[in-house]
Amino acid sequence: MKDLEYYYWIGFFAADGTFRTRGKRVLLKLTLAKQDELHLELMKKYFGAENCWGVCYYEKYSDLIYHNDEEIKCIQKTFDLKERKTYNPPDPNVFDHMDDDQFLSFFIGYTDGDGCIQFTGGKNSGRKDVQLGFHVHHTWNDVINKMRMRLEKIIGVKISPSKIGKDGYARFNIGNTIVIRYLKNVVLKNKHPYLIRKWQKIDETRLSKYEWQKVYTPKVIELRARGYTFEKIGMELGIKTTSAFNYFNGKNGGKKHVL
């Protein structure tokens, strides 16, 4: 039985791998930007240096060719990964054969290959809210939405579907703090060989505004019942006066309270 790191790499191959037939042999090539060249070394270590040509280092990128013909053909058959896969995506039902841990590992690998993790206000905004997204060829839209539905089932949170834009590409974004935090904790728990530059942007301890509401609303109600002003409540709890007011009046998705 394959371990979870194997499924991580399959997700990465699904995003960034190039399958090519050379005579009777099938090769798998990975080409990454210079900043991610260490990832190729990790892939070579996992699948065996004897099965790889490279890593070849160039000025702006590096590449590696995996030549274990038998294993590559097995990967292609098992996960329906074809040549010219940008226009020939796998059957979305391929995920049905994975358990939850295997699927999450695949999703994290796919995110490292084709995904983007960024602060929602831009990298220089100072905001800590993070968004995970894909911008892929429209042929992958059904695959992305199948992954979305699987995430919803595992985590129990609704996620907006992927949609095809006017540019012919499918756009998919996850901004829900609960989902993003869950994925980061899976990365840490399973010790995936993840791209640090992406996942380090996510604070795995960060709460969503709805979770903060559950924390603070009972405290605000108690202090209001004792005659505290919202300003004094803010000072007592270390939150803004407006936040105390909003928690009490249900402005953050909660219920308005009357004393």
**pLDDT at res. 126:** 58
| 201-to-32, 130, 191, 232 alpha-carbon distances in Å | 20, 7, 17, 34
Domains of the chain, earliest start first: 4-199 (3.10.28.10), 209-249 (no CATH)
**By the 8 A CB rule, do 49 and 63 touch?**
no
**pLDDT at res. 64:** 93
Which residues neighbour 1 within 8 Å (Cβ) at sequence distance 6 or greater? none
Helix axes 100-114, 141-155, angle to 10 degrees: 130
**pLDDT at res. 122:** 55
pLDDT tens for each residue of 34-76? 999 999 999 999 999 999 987 888 888 899 999 999 999 999 9
**pLDDT at res. 146:** 98
**pLDDT at res. 55:** 83
How many whole angstroms separate alpha carbon 156 and alpha carbon 17? 31
What are 116's strand-pairing partners?
133
| 29-to-77, 234, 253 alpha-carbon distances in Å | 17, 57, 48
**pLDDT at res. 155:** 97
Phi and psi angles of residue 238, each rounded to the nearest 5 degrees, phi first = 75, 35
Structure tokens at 40: 């190729």
**pLDDT at res. 208:** 76
Q: Show the low-confidence residues of the chain (pLDDT under 50).
A: 258-259
